[in-house]
Amino acid sequence: MADEPATEILKATYQVLCERGYTDLTLQDIAAEADTSKSSIHYHYDSKDQLFVAFLDELYDRFTSRVRSLDSDTPRERLDALLQSLLVTDADPSLREFRTAMLEIKAQAPYKPALQERLTEFDEYLFERLRAILEAGRSTGDFDDTVEPARDAEFLTTTITGAHTRHVAIDHASDRIYTTMRTYIQRHLLTDEHTEAAQ
């Protein structure tokens, strides 16, 4: 059974992080949001950094669970479902809030190795998921023989991450990147047969 006070603290951390950012956030702010005391937070987490490591662990579990739930019949459909989930924001306006929180943490990563380690796990999971889909697609004939799963997964991972940053920093809708990436995939990754079917 989950530790309920710790769970409430992590929920409050998310709320305050989205509202105030990482730099100005204090444990007292989180305590007020969670309707608890600062000493209660210290009972569960020795420091702000330790709290954020636990927070990222929780987000990682949610992220990987969400990605695993996106199942489709073919690798081409799985790739499209993954890109929709990560880039299309119409269905969930709170995604910008979430991405803002993540960008705040990413800005701290070069100075805080524990946070950088957790963020690396997010990146590696996404890369590996994309690589596996592309590799499966080559085997089934969905994707062209010229596709190099690791190389193309690196490109897609970087594009997705950049789209999230632009969405937060300059309010550039990542939905537009989804449309662009679909065109890129049709032109450069799909076999001729599947390109025609996708159009």
**pLDDT of the chain, 199 residues: tens digit per residue:** 356 778 899 999 988 988 888 888 899 999 999 999 999 999 999 888 899 999 999 989 988 998 998 888 899 999 999 999 899 876 566 777 778 888 888 998 999 999 999 999 999 999 999 999 999 999 999 999 999 999 999 999 999 999 999 988 898 888 889 999 999 999 999 986 655 454 4
Q: Which pair of tokens denotes residue 159? A: 């594009």
* Element at 177 (helix H, strand E): helix 174-188
CA distance 102 to 92: 16
What integer pLDDT is reported at residue 182 of this predicted model? 94
Topology of the domain comprising 71-198 = Tetracycline Repressor; domain 2 (1.10.357)
What DSSP designation does 133 have?
A: H
Residue 18: exposure state from Cβ atoms within 10 A (0-12, 13-18, ≥19): middle
H or E stretch at 175: helix 174-188
Of 98, 80, 82, 87, whose CA–CA distance to 190 is shortest?
Answer: 80
